[in-house]
């Protein structure tokens, strides 16, 4: 099986032993505490789940600036973007060396999510923030949802190693879908798969996505596909994870061969960082054991901040050759061809014009569904469209 990034074995910050977890929770009752931002809580979950392996905790300022600019930590290890714990309030009593109980902002009562051994408390200057956002998001525009979220979290940066004690709401809300990197590795081994392609999604999968996955499986000679969906916070207007989960499971049940697809999810808040987030997504998938990863048009993008294929070219132009072993399957925009009566990658049918494809904007899809109108069967499987229609009509 493909090794994790930068290490012979996966390294996760989760405390697996139940007795140890109870001891840490007892300790937490007597520790100074901090309620995390949603993004910092998601980072803690990802550290606990092994997706950030071999990172042991939240980065300090030097590593944050280095990873933002060079995609490497100060010790030379590859990491594509900063993993931070930012806050706008800090107790004067906190000192390096102390242990802090980190509380979950996304669950009632803010229970303890993790314990951090505090390495340092540093201030993120306006210049530091501008540098990080420019490197990671390629913009400092406060209208960009990722930039806005980053800037709202605060100026105090807390770094240190973590003991993660649970996986927040993800195990409760998505018991059949949320999986750690090590759980997915175990499932791949149990299935006997050697060549495995992963597909990232924050959206329901229409026929173009379905076909793209099938094309990748066939051309790569894959034993299996992992549809790996983001389960964390999204921007307003995106489809909730529960609806996406139901739609994807329905599509796989009806249209993929039995035992050829694993459906899983991970607890991360979307960054909308385009090319840089695509590299992070590949990092996650190598850690979970996939050998290949699909990168399509405008991967992890938002608005018009990124070029259509910037998320593909970054691997050739900016990612160091020794950084990742996972291989990228570069895909074009896929759409239904009315000339061929099938879904194709658009760049591969040179005799077509735009009028030969069924292309619906996200806005048009939402309009049709909210009005109770069916999506074209050339665009979406009817079983999937039915689930989405019920969601939009419930929203009013």
Least confident of 156-170, 324-338, 354-368: 354-368
Q: Is 179 tagged catalytic? A: no
Q: Which of 179, 202, 297, 381 is catalytic?
A: 202
**Is there a domain that residue 325 lies in?**
yes
Mean pLDDT (the chain) is 94
**Is there a domain that residue 54 lies in?**
yes
Q: Are residues 205 and 140 in the same domain?
A: no
Question: Is residue 359's pLDDT more than 70?
Answer: yes
- Give residue 396's pLDDT: 64
Residue 233 or residue 385, greater confidence: 385
**What is the count of structural domains for the chain?**
2
Q: Are residues 25 and 160 in the same domain?
A: yes
**Is there a domain that residue 259 lies in?**
yes
Kindly state the percentage of the chain with pLDDT values over 70: 99
Q: Are residues 179 and 39 in the same domain?
A: no
| 230 DSSP β-pair partners | 266
- Which of 112, 138, 168 marks a domain boundary? 168
Going by C-alpha positions, the residue among 346, 343, 278, 358 that lies closest to residue 315 is: 278
- How large is the greatest C-alpha to C-alpha distance in the chain, in angstroms? 70
Determine the average pLDDT of the residues in 11-36.
97
- Give residue 145's pLDDT: 95
**Is there a domain that residue 324 lies in?**
yes
Q: Are residues 142 and 89 in the same domain?
A: yes
**How does residue 302 score in pLDDT terms, banded at 50, 70 and 90?**
very high
User: Which structure tokens are listed for 280?
Assistant: 């992070």
- Give residue 362's pLDDT: 67
- Give residue 168's pLDDT: 97
Q: Are residues 189 and 292 in the same domain?
A: yes
- Which of 168, 187, 203 marks a domain boundary? 168
Least confident of 138-147, 189-198, 229-238, 382-391: 229-238
Compute the distance between CA of residue 285 and CA of residue 293 in angstroms, rounded to an integer: 7
Q: Which of 21, 72, 110, 203 is catalytic?
A: 203
**Is there a domain that residue 369 lies in?**
yes
* Burial of residue 122 (number of CB atoms within 10 Å: 0-12, 13-18, 19+): middle
Contacts of 393 (CB under 8 A, 6+ apart): 369, 370, 372
User: Which structure tokens are listed for 78?
Assistant: 């590859």
Distance of alpha carbon 19 from the chain centroid: 31
- Which of 139, 168, 197 marks a domain boundary? 168
Query: Any idea what the CATH number is for the domain that residue 78 is in?
Result: 3.10.400.10
pLDDT digits (tens, 9 = 90+) for 28-70: 999 999 999 999 999 999 999 999 999 999 999 999 999 999 9
Q: ω into residue 269 within 30 of 0, thus cis?
A: no
Q: Are residues 370 and 240 in the same domain?
A: yes
- Give residue 240's pLDDT: 86
Q: Is 202 tagged catalytic? A: yes
Q: Is the separation of the CB atoms in 380 and 206 below 8 Å?
A: yes
Determine the average pLDDT of the residues in 88-111.
93
Query: Any idea what the CATH number is for the domain that residue 330 is in?
Result: 3.40.50.620
Q: Are residues 185 and 109 in the same domain?
A: no
The three-class DSSP label of residue 311 is helix
Compute the distance between CA of residue 258 and CA of residue 304 in angstroms, rounded to an integer: 38
* Helical segments of 109-220, H only: 126-137, 145-152, 170-173, 181-191, 207-220
Compute the distance between CA of residue 216 and CA of residue 340 in angstroms, rounded to an integer: 19
Question: Is residue 18's pLDDT more than 90?
Answer: yes
Question: Is residue 374's pLDDT more than 90?
Answer: no
- Residue 14 is given by DSSP the state B
- Give residue 386's pLDDT: 92
Beta strands 327-330 and 261-266, pairing class: unpaired
Question: Is residue 91's pLDDT more than 90?
Answer: no
Helix (H) or strand (E) holding 160, with range, is: strand 156-164
**Is there a domain that residue 226 lies in?**
yes
**Is there a domain that residue 330 lies in?**
yes
Compute the distance between CA of residue 316 and CA of residue 339 in angstroms, rounded to an integer: 34
Determine the average pLDDT of the residues in 161-180.
97
Compute the distance between CA of residue 292 and CA of residue 38 in angstroms, rounded to an integer: 30
Q: Are residues 42 and 64 in the same domain?
A: yes
Residue 347 is part of which domain span? 172-266+272-395
Output the CA torsion 193→194→195→200 (10° steps): 60
Distance of alpha carbon 194 from the chain centroid: 23
* Burial of residue 328 (number of CB atoms within 10 Å: 0-12, 13-18, 19+): buried
Determine the average pLDDT of the residues in 152-159.
96
**How does residue 373 score in pLDDT terms, banded at 50, 70 and 90?**
confident
**Is there a domain that residue 220 lies in?**
yes
C-alpha angle 94-79-50 in degrees, rounded to nearest 5? 75
Q: Are residues 208 and 124 in the same domain?
A: no
Q: Are residues 368 and 281 in the same domain?
A: yes
Q: Are residues 66 and 184 in the same domain?
A: no
Residue 90 or residue 195, greater confidence: 195
Determine the average pLDDT of the residues in 323-351.
92
**How does residue 218 score in pLDDT terms, banded at 50, 70 and 90?**
very high
Considering the entire predicted model, what is its pTM? 0.94
Determine the average pLDDT of the residues in 253-269.
96
Q: Are residues 71 and 202 in the same domain?
A: no
């Amino acid at each position: 099986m493909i090794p994790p990034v930068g290490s012979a074995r996966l390294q996760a910050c989760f405390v697996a032993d139940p007795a140890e977890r109870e001891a840490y929770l007892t300790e937490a009752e007597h520790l100074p505490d901090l309620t995390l931002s949603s993004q910092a809580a998601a980072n803690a979950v990802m550290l606990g789940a092994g997706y950030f392996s071999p990172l042991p905790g939240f980065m300090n300022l030097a590593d944050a600036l280095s990873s933002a600019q060079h995609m490497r930590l100060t010790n030379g290890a590859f990491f594509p973007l900063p993993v931070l714990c930012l806050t706008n309030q800090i107790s004067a009593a906190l000192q390096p060396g102390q242990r802090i109980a980190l509380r979950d902002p996304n669950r009632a009562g803010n229970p303890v999510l993790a314990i951090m051994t505090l390495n340092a408390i540093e201030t993120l200057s306006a210049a530091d923030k501008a540098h990080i956002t420019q490197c990671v998001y390629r913009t400092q525009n406060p209208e960009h949802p990722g930039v806005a979220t980053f800037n709202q979290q605060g100026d105090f940066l807390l770094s240190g190693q973590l003991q993660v004690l649970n996986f927040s709401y993800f195990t409760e809300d998505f018991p059949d879908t949320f999986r750690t990197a090590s759980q997915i590795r175990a499932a791949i081994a149990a299935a006997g798969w050697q060549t495995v392609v992963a597909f990232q999604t924050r959206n329901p999968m229409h026929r173009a996505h379905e076909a793209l996955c099938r094309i990748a499986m066939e051309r790569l000679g894959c034993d299996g596909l992992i549809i790996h969906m983001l389960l964390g916070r999204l921007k307003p207007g995106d489809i909730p994870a529960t609806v996406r989960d139901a739609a994807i499971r329905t599509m796989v049940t009806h249209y993929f061969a039995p035992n050829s697809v694993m459906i899983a999810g991970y607890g991360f808040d979307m960054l909308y960082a385009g090319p840089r987030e695509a590299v992070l997504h590949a990092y996650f998938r190598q850690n979970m054991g996939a050998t290949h990863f699909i990168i399509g048009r405008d991967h992890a993008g938002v608005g018009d901040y990124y070029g259509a294929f910037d998320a593909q070219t970054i691997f050739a132009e900016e990612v160091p050759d020794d950084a990742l072993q996972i291989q990228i399957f570069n895909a074009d925009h896929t759409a239904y061809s009315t000339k061929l009566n099938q879904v194709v990658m658009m760049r591969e049918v040179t005799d077509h014009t735009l009028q030969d494809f069924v292309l619906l904007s996200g806005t048009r899809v939402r309009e049709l569904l909210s009005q109770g109108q069916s999506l074209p069967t050339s665009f979406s499987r009817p079983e999937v469209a039915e689930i989405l229609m019920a969601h939009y009509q419930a929203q009013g």
